[in-house]
Chain A
Amino acid sequence: MTARFAATELNLSNYRTERRYRLMLFSMTAMLVLPVLIILAILILKGAPMISWEFLFEFPRRGMTEGGIYPALLGTIFIVVVDLIFAMPIGVAAAIYLSEYAPDNWLTRAINLAIINLAGVPSIVHALFGVGAFVIFFGFGTSILAAALTVAIMTLPLVIVATRESLQAVPQAFREACWSMGASRWQTIFTVVLPNAISGILTGLILEVSRTAGETAPIMFTGAAFFLPFLPESVFDQTMALSLHLFVVSTQVPEVPEALPYGVALVLIGIVLIMNAISIVFRSYLRGKKKW
């Protein structure tokens, strides 16, 4: 009783175009995912046999050709923790100011530009800045503190940008509703804006942790050591670090068994993946609680 809709040549060509673009976009996505999968597969295949209790919790032996990576693992954790102590409050506070308080004027625009540029500065330049500022000027020497501060400054833009984006994703209507009830800016931020931006802020911090754990150049001049036979006792001591250790066992030490660098790399990536997993779980937990 109703006439069937007959596809015209134009409809068919629309379908073809649609399929073509879909395929193209999908293949781009696949190209993105493929290297990650390959890297992971190789690391697991070659590095997994190395992973053992002893590997994680023993000192390197025989010029780092045997034994474990305990001091490097611990050193990386120290650097990450000290880095977070500085970068987290400063980054989040700066982002709150920029998103919620800063008037739209030349100064704010200049600050935003500076943040973007800070993110673009090569890490080796940050390393040299860290040597000049923290190691020499502030007199921290080559130490965990100097290394962590250097990396903190380098990774601050990550935290600031991620936090600012997630704050700005909170609808303006919430703020206006809150203000119109007589709440101050800070009351509004604390009760409405922050709780709804928390998952984005966490993402930024996780990125920061991943980045910090992996950086090599900025710490090798400021606090990470080639080899140390003992553990650091305070933040003013030098430490070994996984990223530098990976560089060392891959290129600087002769007769390292082939699997050893893969093992180190796997632990390094493992830390990053575990942090990501924690943040995903935490985020979905928070998202279940808060919604608009």
Chain B
Amino acid sequence: MVAAETRTKVLEVNDLSISYGPKTAMSGLSLDVYENEIFGIIGPANSGKTSFLRAINRMDAFDSQMNVNGSLRFMGTEVSAWRNDYALRRQIGVVFPLPVGLPMSIYDNVAFAAKLRGVKGKAALDEVVERCLTRAALWDEVKDRLDSLGSQLSGGQQQRLTIARALSQEPTLLMLDEFSIAVDPVTTMRIEDVLKELKKEMTILLVTNLVQQAERLADRTALFLNGSLIEIGYTDALFEGQTQDQRTKDYLEGRFG
């Protein structure tokens, strides 16, 4: 508790609002995310969780409908003030709900970000590919077929591939958007173990639809509901019932309707 104030803030969000055309997806969001924590975001569908992630890595630049207002600082700098969007995104790894294996070989999937960053030479790329696949607990399963298509792996393997791909960016912040939606329970547990390890090196933003997943992994958890933040708290405390808002208590206990 005491340590929180001294830790570096990876994200500082102040009065953030997001809208798509006339439709508001998020309003009045303020929160901080600290270095080396797993920050869980829970909430029902349509509560603005994914929109928040998209605002962080400036996906609004690719979506003319999407409008972001307010202050969103990443590593102390407004994301909209980063001189180079691409450099910003390279520091933020993203894992999507449905595994998106790019239609290229397993090797290229993982080497892609390194190539974008300017890593050259087969030896250097080989090293990145092996390291990232190993850390994503996939290396042993694919090391003999790195040239086959990433999109032909099973769903669980593909999701670990996308995690390896995100790690190959050497991100400061790793954002996972309901990563376990299309993944079997065993793989989910393996990925969760990987995340606990990764926490030592990076900050993880974990959007999840599984309350128990937040309980297992997150240091702090926030509940989003209909485009606004209901409550943030230490996960342990929240699950012990120390909630400020009755809606949080109801949601955590699955009595929500």
Chain A residues lying within 8 Å of B199, measured Cβ to Cβ, are: none
Bound together, the chains give a CA A191 to CA B206 distance in angstroms of 29
Contact indicator A173/B96 (Cβ below 8 Å): yes
**Nearest-Cβ distance from residue A113 to partner chain B, whole angstroms:** 19
Chain A residues lying within 8 Å of B131, measured Cβ to Cβ, are: none
Given contacts A173-B98, A195-B103, A196-B103, contact A181 B169 (CB under 8 A): yes
Chain B residues lying within 8 Å of A291, measured Cβ to Cβ, are: 103, 149, 151-152
In-complex Cβ contact of B102 among A103, A184, A187, A192 (8 A): A192
Bound together, the chains give a CA A180 to CA B90 distance in angstroms of 7
Given contacts A176-B96, A177-B162, contact A292 B151 (CB under 8 A): yes
**Nearest-Cβ distance from residue A292 to partner chain B, whole angstroms:** 4
Contact indicator A183/B100 (Cβ below 8 Å): no
- B-contacting residues, A170-193, CB 8 Å: 173-185, 187, 191-192
- B-contacting residues, A264-292, CB 8 Å: 290-292
Bound together, the chains give a CA A175 to CA B162 distance in angstroms of 14
Contact indicator A181/B89 (Cβ below 8 Å): yes
Chain A residues lying within 8 Å of B62, measured Cβ to Cβ, are: 175-176, 179, 185
- Looking across the interface, which residue of chain A has its beta carbon closest to that of B112? A181
Chain B residues lying within 8 Å of A187, measured Cβ to Cβ, are: 116
Chain A residues lying within 8 Å of B64, measured Cβ to Cβ, are: 103-104
Contact indicator B57/A180 (Cβ below 8 Å): yes
- Looking across the interface, which residue of chain B has its beta carbon closest to that of A177? B100
Bound together, the chains give a CA A183 to CA B57 distance in angstroms of 12
Max chain B Cβ within 10 angstroms of own Cβ: one of A104, A179, A195:
A179
Chain A residues lying within 8 Å of B166, measured Cβ to Cβ, are: 181
Max chain B Cβ within 10 angstroms of own Cβ: one of A104, A177, A180, A291:
A180
Q: Indicate whether B165 reaches chain A with its CB closer than 8 angstroms.
A: yes
Chain A residues lying within 8 Å of B113, measured Cβ to Cβ, are: 181-182
**Nearest-Cβ distance from residue A121 to partner chain B, whole angstroms:** 31
Chain B residues lying within 8 Å of A180, measured Cβ to Cβ, are: 57, 59, 89, 92, 94
Contact indicator A177/B116 (Cβ below 8 Å): no
**Nearest-Cβ distance from residue B55 to partner chain A, whole angstroms:** 13
Bound together, the chains give a CA A173 to CA B87 distance in angstroms of 21
**Nearest-Cβ distance from residue B4 to partner chain A, whole angstroms:** 28
Contact indicator A182/B90 (Cβ below 8 Å): yes
Contact indicator A174/B152 (Cβ below 8 Å): no
Contact indicator A183/B92 (Cβ below 8 Å): no
Chain B residues lying within 8 Å of A181, measured Cβ to Cβ, are: 89-90, 94, 112-113, 116, 165-166, 169
Contact indicator A177/B102 (Cβ below 8 Å): yes
In-complex Cβ contact of B86 among A175, A177, A182, A196 (8 A): A182
Contact indicator A192/B116 (Cβ below 8 Å): no
Given contacts A173-B96, A177-B102, A191-B112, contact A182 B151 (CB under 8 A): no
Chain B residues lying within 8 Å of A178, measured Cβ to Cβ, are: 102, 112
- B-contacting residues, A26-62, CB 8 Å: none
Chain B residues lying within 8 Å of A196, measured Cβ to Cβ, are: 103
Max chain A Cβ within 10 angstroms of own Cβ: one of B101, B116, B149:
B116
Contact indicator A192/B89 (Cβ below 8 Å): no
Contact indicator B103/A290 (Cβ below 8 Å): yes
Q: Indicate whether B13 reaches chain A with its CB closer than 8 angstroms.
A: no
**Nearest-Cβ distance from residue B234 to partner chain A, whole angstroms:** 29
Q: Indicate whether B104 reaches chain A with its CB closer than 8 angstroms.
A: yes
Bound together, the chains give a CA A184 to CA B87 distance in angstroms of 10
Bound together, the chains give a CA A260 to CA B88 distance in angstroms of 69
**Nearest-Cβ distance from residue B129 to partner chain A, whole angstroms:** 15
Bound together, the chains give a CA A180 to CA B112 distance in angstroms of 12
Contact indicator B103/A192 (Cβ below 8 Å): yes
- A-contacting residues, B34-79, CB 8 Å: 57, 59, 62, 64
**Nearest-Cβ distance from residue B21 to partner chain A, whole angstroms:** 11
- Looking across the interface, which residue of chain B has its beta carbon closest to that of A183? B116
- A-contacting residues, B127-167, CB 8 Å: 149, 151-152, 162, 165-166
- B-contacting residues, A186-212, CB 8 Å: 187, 191-192, 195-196
Bound together, the chains give a CA A291 to CA B165 distance in angstroms of 19
- Looking across the interface, which residue of chain B has its beta carbon closest to that of A170? B103
Chain A residues lying within 8 Å of B59, measured Cβ to Cβ, are: 176, 179-180
Mark A residues whose CB is within 8 Å of B: 103-104, 173-185, 187, 191-192, 195-196, 290-292
Q: 10 additional contacts, CB 8 Å, given A174-B103, A175-B62, A183-B86? A: A176-B59, A178-B112, A180-B92, A182-B88, A182-B90, A183-B112, A191-B104, A191-B112, A195-B104, A291-B103
3 A-B pairs with least C-beta separation: A182-B90, A182-B89, A180-B94
CB pairs A–B below 8 angstroms (7 shown): A177-B100, A181-B166, A181-B169, A182-B86, A291-B103, A291-B152, A292-B149
